[in-house]
Structure 1
Amino acid sequence: MLTKSSQSVATIKAEDASKNCILVFDPDKTHAGKLNAILDFLGYDLLLAHSREELAHQLKKYPGLLTIIITGDLSETEQQDIVNIVAREAEHILPVVLYSVPAKNEQPVSLRYPPSWVAVKYPIAHQEFSSALDRVHAHFAHQQTEKGQRPAHLFRSLIGRSPAMQHIRHEIEQVGPTDATVLILGESGTGKEVVARNLHYHSRRRGKAFVPVNCGAIPRDLLESELFGHEKGAFTGALTAREGRFSLASGGTLFLDEIGEMPMDMQVKLLRVLEERTFERVGGSKTIKADVRIVAATNCNLEQMVADGTFREDLFYRLEVFPINLPPLRERVEDLPLLIAQLNDRMEYEKHFSVRFSPDAVSILSGYSWPGNVRELANLIERLGIKFPNGLVEVNDLPMKYRSGTGDGVSHDSQLDFFAEAAAAVRSQPFAVKTKPTVAQILANGQDMKSYVSEVEKNLISQALEETDGVIAHAAKLLGLRRTTLTEKMRKYGLQRPREGRATG
């Protein structure tokens, strides 16, 4: 029987089994389940195989796996069979072997695996295991480089298991195949261009160009020429004719970033292109067909700008055919471990070093408000990677503002409770922790991380409302949340103030 920690194996597409997916082979299902819980907490997708037949089947079905973790009580004959299967079905993979240390009166374990494979003692310490995974990641990146390819997993995907990111991915799958104009809204650093590129990737135009334009970075007197091109002699300095971004994106996608910074006179011209699907170059009279899909993005409140008269209402409604709202990082901190892993992989590929975070450090980072969102997280990881190349970052290694847990004035979210307890399972001590609960024990009775965190969050909000007599503003302050955020969470969980008719806050 094959299982995955959060979903049935049957739901995993072969092309989705990437660097983030690990196959665990162990004849003992109980033992494998414990290891599964640990790796799931570390942000990996897991497949389990309990027989050599299942192992061979999964290696054929999922050729893009990061690694295989081989553990359990295996005879030398069984070990040799495993080596043969891996050599035949997955020669590019660097496996990790977990082996038990023999008792005092027992004979040493005779490992029959190739010396190039990674062997790690079991029970295992977190830092030792992280080092093993570092070797695996480096091997994976090297294999992709040898093929002359950029690793598929480094495609800038929208990582995250939070409900918000699952909803975003669903929206992209819905609107991607169409030619509908999309308006991406979100704070700076939330990944609006990543969404735009994913929209292009999921469209019928993916074989054509994706052309980004930052409307706020181009001087207003040059923006028209940048977008539509110009003819020779159209203005001083126009020594030759030049194609604009609309022409370069023909058949593909034109991404208009920071659309809120576009001058009013250019808004009029863009509106005409959206309505008529044609344009003329500056200084020209020839009408050119605009065969492009428009995706726009902004961190501005366009509705407020319309009300203030700084953005055209008709253009706003032309752009807002399908709006996508990106949540800030502080509202999806449960995605932090996966984001850290992805950004680390990208840094390892591009800069040839990486850095790992202890569970306690991840717990502390989850309480920071992240005003710069994912961009700020990426900068922090690179900074720490330079200071501690291929090392392990502990809480005291973090810059002080991240250790304060408040950042922009927002205190720890209740999701810290999960990280604090789950960290016990992956600290630098054996997996078999007797004094503190394991992840499997915490997430008992079929619970998963999402339901556990939601239950903790719901109970904490209920308690805060009770303690403040239902005054939302006071409850929000007690929880370290914005009032609007608390209201949204109350609506999400169907919570009411305990005393109707009291002050609204």
Structure 2
Amino acid sequence: MSAKTILFIAEPQAVTSIFPTLKEAGVQAGLADNLNGALGFIKKSKPLLIFSRPSIQGFDAKRLLEQAEQVDDFPPVIIFSRNGSAEEAQDYLQHGARDYWLEPLIWDKIKLVLPKGAPDPEPEPEPKPGPEPALRAPAAAPAAPRQDSKFQIIGRHPAVLRVLALARQVARSKATVLIAGESGTGKEMFARYLHHNSDRADQPFVAINCAALPEHLLESELFGHEKGAFTGAINRKLGKFELADGGTILLDEITEMDLGLQAKLLRVLQESEFDRVGGVETVKVNVRVIATTNRAIEETVKEGKFRQDLYYRLNVIPLKLPALKHRGEDVIELAEYFVNKYCAAYGLGRLAFTEEAKAWLMDYDWPGNVRELQNLMERAVLLAGDGPIRKSHFLMTEGEWMPDDLDAVEQAQQDVAAAAPPEGMDQALSVMPLQEMEKKLILKSLDETAGNRTRAADLLGISVRTLRNKLNEYKKQGIDV
């Protein structure tokens, strides 16, 4: 087993009881009770993780976190406390702590956050009789978060980079995250980025729109129900929290949730447990919660429409996404990204923008944000053909869009005539088999929903089971889905 070292900064009586368990697991533990001692141990033994009290006599963890900001390969710091609070957790996370735990510290929890894949240490010569040898550890830094172009955040504006840096810093923690921003700014993309770069990346990511269902149905969707719990409940149903166990759940548009249901959600966040609708047994879950809102949630709290205690519990890590109109040159970078995406999807060559088109993109107010930009770029790709993308390809209101010349109108008329369906229905259907058309629609829906099968099924008007069966068929045909 790879040798690993972790450092505890605490009173000896608070942590030494776990040392024998760590030793059995092949983990060596160091102990410090002041800043100088901790920094000396870190320099000498290069621990993979640090567990620190918020403060003990002569030591303040914020001073340690200040040191961490100045060193590139400084070990991650997890703060642990006897009696913590959401406000204290948020404070330390904002100062750079990876996570905030409540006691007791147990091995089953610690092993989940130890960086994986640490290299084996170089073989050591047999120790000579004498004092206990000094603790040693590999000099490897914690494993970097996984990267995947599918979850890449596009943009270089400072406001986006600040949010992205914070998201990357807290991705591997269990802290709840509240993502705020106007509709279409990419809140779900950031939620998926957090999950994909977390220790839960191989576990489920489950999303639910709290605004899409009435209260009684939303409760069943979140927590599940037992057979006979209400009319139509003919079988037990697992809720989204159970389906997300071990992974991440996204509560989209959280401010639309009814106050009564908010109280039940608060219990899940505090106790990691809930009861199914109509159930008598308590269900325990381990789920990381990410919530989004397009409202000014502080105002919603003042209006009495959202519980203040739930707001504090969700807002441990706040991420505020800027509107597209405030992101400057990111508009062009995003536009080029979407154009390349749709050119590839439709089998077209690369398309460039005219200077007039770029100026229009920069001047437009983008009330629909990135989602509107994406849809507009698909339109532009389809209208531009082989030529550059012009301003006229963005404008489709009556009287504002016309082909570039009258020859194009004449060509369009000829194309319509040439594309007239042949005589006989059998011949018409032979243009594209129904199964092939179905396949194209299914694959396009998955692309549009970033692989979210539930949303793709909703777009197609079919059940998730039907979609899953179709995808299994495509896999047998050698299609990567």
**TM-score calculated relative to the size of structure 1:** 0.48
1:375 aligned counterpart, secondary structure: helix
Q: Does 2:228 match 1:209?
A: no
Q: Distance in 2 between matches of 1:283 and 1:323?
A: 34
Q: Distance in 2 between matches of 1:222 and 1:307?
A: 27
Deviates more, 1:353-362 or 1:247-256: 353-362
2:302 aligned counterpart, secondary structure: helix
1:347 to partner: Cα distance: 2.2
The aligned amino acid for 2:234 is L
Q: Distance in 1 between matches of 2:344 and 2:202?
A: 25
1:295 aligned counterpart, secondary structure: strand
1:291 to partner: Cα distance: 0.6
1:240 to partner: Cα distance: 0.8
Q: Distance in 2 between matches of 1:167 and 1:273?
A: 30
8 Å CA contact retained: 1:215, 1:223: yes
Equivalence for 2:288: 293
8 Å CA contact retained: 2:356, 2:390: yes
2:199 aligned counterpart, secondary structure: coil
Q: Distance in 1 between matches of 2:344 and 2:263?
A: 43
Q: Does 2:387 match 1:388?
A: no
Counting aligned pairs with the same residue, the percent is: 47
Alignment of 1:209-288 (within 5 A): 209-288=204-283
Judged with a 3 Å threshold, the aligned counterparts in structure 2 of structure 1 residues 258 and 390 are, in CA distance, closer, same or farther, namely: farther
8 Å CA contact retained: 1:370, 1:377: yes
Q: Does 2:186 match 1:191?
A: yes
Q: Does 2:177 match 1:157?
A: no
8 Å CA contact retained: 2:151, 2:196: no
The aligned amino acid for 2:270 is E
Q: Distance in 1 between matches of 2:156 and 2:242?
A: 38
8 Å CA contact retained: 2:273, 2:282: yes
1:345 to partner: Cα distance: 3.1
The alignment covers a number of residue pairs equal to 252
Equivalence for 1:136: none
Alignment of 1:9-48 (within 5 A): none
Match of 2:329 among 322, 334, 338: 334
The aligned amino acid for 1:376 is E
Residues 226-262 of structure 1 deviation map (CA, whole Å, 9 limit, x = unaligned): 0011111111111111111001101000000000111
The aligned amino acid for 1:215 is C
The aligned amino acid for 1:346 is K
1:396 to partner: Cα distance: 3.6
The aligned amino acid for 2:160 is M
Equivalence for 1:302: 297
8 Å CA contact retained: 2:340, 2:351: no
Q: Unaligned 5+ residue runs, structure 2?
A: 1-146, 401-481
Equivalence for 2:404: none
8 Å CA contact retained: 1:185, 1:325: yes
Equivalence for 1:38: none
Match of 2:315 among 315, 320, 326: 320
Equivalence for 2:47: none
2:374 aligned counterpart, secondary structure: helix
Q: Distance in 1 between matches of 2:282 and 2:345?
A: 43
Q: Does 2:167 match 1:172?
A: yes
Equivalence for 2:352: 356
Equivalence for 1:373: 369
**TM-score calculated relative to the size of structure 2:** 0.50
Match of 1:347 among 342, 350, 354: 342
Q: Distance in 1 between matches of 2:315 and 2:149?
A: 30
Residues 33-61 of structure 1 deviation map (CA, whole Å, 9 limit, x = unaligned): xxxxxxxxxxxxxxxxxxxxxxxxxxxxx
Considering only aligned residues, what root-mean-square deviation do their CA atoms show, in Å?
2.0
Deviates more, 1:223-232 or 1:387-396: 387-396
Equivalence for 2:36: none
Q: Distance in 2 between matches of 1:259 and 1:390?
A: 44
2:329 aligned counterpart, secondary structure: helix
1:272 aligned counterpart, secondary structure: helix
